Amino acid sequence: MAKQRKPVSKGLKTFFGIGDLGFNWMTNIETYYYAYFLTNIAQFPLALVTVIQTIGSVIDAALSWTYGIMLNLWVWIGYCWEIAIWKLLLWNNSYLLKAKLL
């Protein structure tokens, strides 16, 4: 007998939808408004604008797979700092009281 699949909650759909909205919003800003700025405001030739945006897109594509790795690394670094601070404040409380730091 097959397992019954659990439906995705409304909160989870909203959470992922907001992230997708933010990504699409920034992609559209980069694509449309940056090209408008470079061609109409900065007065760069269209060929140069194409090269600038292509280089940016290639760099973004090359680095996009590392964003998750970097975010996870920063979460673990923050977690380790949090543990260290709590250890200092809670377990070494008597030392801090003697030193009149707490």
The per-residue pLDDT for range 76-98, each reduced to its tens digit, is 777 777 777 776 666 655 555 56
pLDDT at residue 82 in the model: 74
Rounded to whole angstroms, what are the CA distances from 44 to 30, 54, 55, 101? 16, 15, 15, 59
Amino acid at 52: I
Q: Which pTM value belongs to this model?
A: 0.52
